[in-house]
């Protein structure tokens, strides 16, 4: 799969861009503030319907303009289609293969996009929501029907919480429990299957970095191990009602990441954390490639903490996934350029030019 051509108009500081990236490596070179990251953001919008840098989509509209447009021509599994996003101040319009779509999940399914950016260490250092997002993005692409199950669980969870806050009778809350338990178990099982399979691919990349070979990741389901969720909900009913929300369940799930038996937050430096997260993303890409699905990987500055040898290893690992890759950098000397075919684009003052 690859984006064969990309058009961007009035997106942040990008004026009117039309490029034809290659299916493999694509380098995006330019000074700081030139628009390199903005170009990655535009691609991210094609696959997710939003930026990876801000949730305020109106901020993506070029100053002095009333809207932005991003359009991509994509080839995947032998078929070609277009995907586009148009944003005005009040609304977004998204089209996939010529038809309007309302759910960003359709974009995600059609054009899987993942990003490696300077803050990727947060997956290890910060709260479980980062790890759940990483996990669920992978499950979404591998486990059929996962998105429907997750949406159903969130809907029922919100209804149960509303009943708890309003002081509803226990009988009415128990009515929500049955559907909540059913979807919680399905969600939990899908995540556990996914992680078990993902861990088959992690050593492919972690063995290239001796300090990361002993990584172990375990899934924490969000309620006490060995106890049925229905029983756990019943036991927590009084406490849940006092607090006005459901305290435990898949919405509290987490990944426990350890090196040599020690929490990765304590064992690894900031640079090592970034490399480990990058390797986990590469494992996801390889896992999906084995299912005949390729990923677009956006790399907004390789970890600056890495020495040249480790940067080269990470670059080589990226190419081995078969993904279409877009990497940004201030200078082409930062990249291990060889004789392999690659695209090279220079960005300056919101304009993009091909470098031969």
What span, in angstroms and rounded, lies between the C-alpha atoms of 31 and 2? 26
Q: Which residues pair with 72 in a beta bridge?
A: 6, 83
Pick from 55, 43, 54, 154: nearest CA to 107: 43
Side-chain half-sphere of 153: how many Cα atoms within 13 Å?
A: 20
- The whole-model pTM stands at 0.92
Sign of CA dihedral 315, 317, 322, 324: negative
Asked if residue 83 lies in contact with residue 74, where contact means CB atoms within 8 angstroms, the answer is yes
DSSP characters over 36-69: HHHHHHHHHHHHHSS-SS-S-GGGGBPTT-SEEE
What span, in angstroms and rounded, lies between the C-alpha atoms of 75 and 35? 26
Task: Say if residue 61 is exposed, middle or buried (CB neighbours under 10 Å; 0-12, 13-18, 19+).
Answer: middle
pLDDT score, position 342: 86
What are the tokens at 203? Answer: 């050593």
End-to-end CA distance of the chain: 24
pLDDT score, position 337: 62
Q: Which residues pair with 215 in a beta bridge?
A: 259
Pairing relationship of beta strands 296-299 and 324-329 according to DSSP bridges: parallel
Angle at CA 315, nearest 5°, toward 324 and 213? 115
| Angstrom distances, CA of residue 132 to CA of 49, 117, 143, 147, 319 | 19, 18, 15, 14, 26
pLDDT score, position 1: 64
pLDDT score, position 277: 95
What span, in angstroms and rounded, lies between the C-alpha atoms of 86 and 88? 7
Low-confidence ranges of the chain (pLDDT < 70): 1, 303-304, 336-339
Q: Which residues pair with 114 in a beta bridge?
A: 297
Ordered structural domains, the chain, with CATH: 1-112+294-356 (3.40.50.300), 118-290 (1.20.1050.90)
């Amino acid at each position: 799969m690859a984006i064969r051509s990309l058009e961007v108009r009035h997106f942040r500081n990008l004026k009117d861009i039309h490029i034809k990236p290659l299916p493999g490596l694509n380098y995006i070179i330019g000074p700081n503030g030139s628009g390199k990251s903005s170009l990655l953001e535009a691609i991210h919008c094609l696959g997710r319907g939003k930026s990876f840098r801000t949730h305020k989509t109106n901020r993506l509209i070029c100053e002095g303009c009333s809207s932005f447009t991003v359009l991509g021509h994509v080839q995947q599994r032998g078929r070609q289609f277009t995907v586009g996003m148009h944003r005005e101040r009040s609304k977004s319009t998204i089209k996939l293969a010529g038809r309007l779509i309302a759910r960003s999940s359709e974009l995600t399914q059609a054009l899987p996009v993942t990003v490696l950016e300077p803050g990727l260490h947060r997956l290890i250092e910060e709260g479980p929501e980062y790890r759940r997002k990483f996990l669920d993005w992978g499950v979404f692409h591998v486990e059929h029907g996962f998105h429907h199950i997750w949406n159903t669980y969130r809907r029922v969870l919100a209804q149960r919480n509303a009943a708890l806050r309003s002081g509803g009778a226990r009988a009415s809350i128990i009515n929500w429990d049955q559907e909540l338990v059913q979807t919680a178990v399905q969600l939990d099982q899908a995540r556990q299957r996914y992680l078990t399979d993902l861990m088959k691919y992690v050593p492919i990349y972690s063995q290239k970095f001796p300090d990361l070979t002993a990584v172990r990741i375990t899934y924490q389901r969000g309620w006490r191990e060995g106890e049925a969720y229905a029983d756990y909900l019943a036991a927590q009913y009084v406490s849940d009602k006092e607090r006005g929300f459901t305290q435990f369940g898949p919405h509290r799930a987490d990944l426990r990441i350890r090196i040599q038996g020690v929490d990765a937050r304590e064992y690894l430096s900031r640079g090592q954390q970034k490399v480990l997260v990058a390797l986990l993303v590469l494992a996801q890409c390889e896992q999906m490639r084995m299912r005949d699905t390729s990923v677009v990987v956006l790399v907004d500055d390789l970890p600056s903490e890495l020495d040249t040898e480790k940067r080269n290893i990470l670059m080589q690992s990226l190419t081995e996934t078969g993904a279409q890759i877009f990497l940004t950098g201030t200078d082409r000397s930062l990249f291990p350029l060889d004789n392999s075919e690659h695209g090279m684009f220079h960005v300056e003052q919101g304009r993009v030019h091909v470098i031969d």
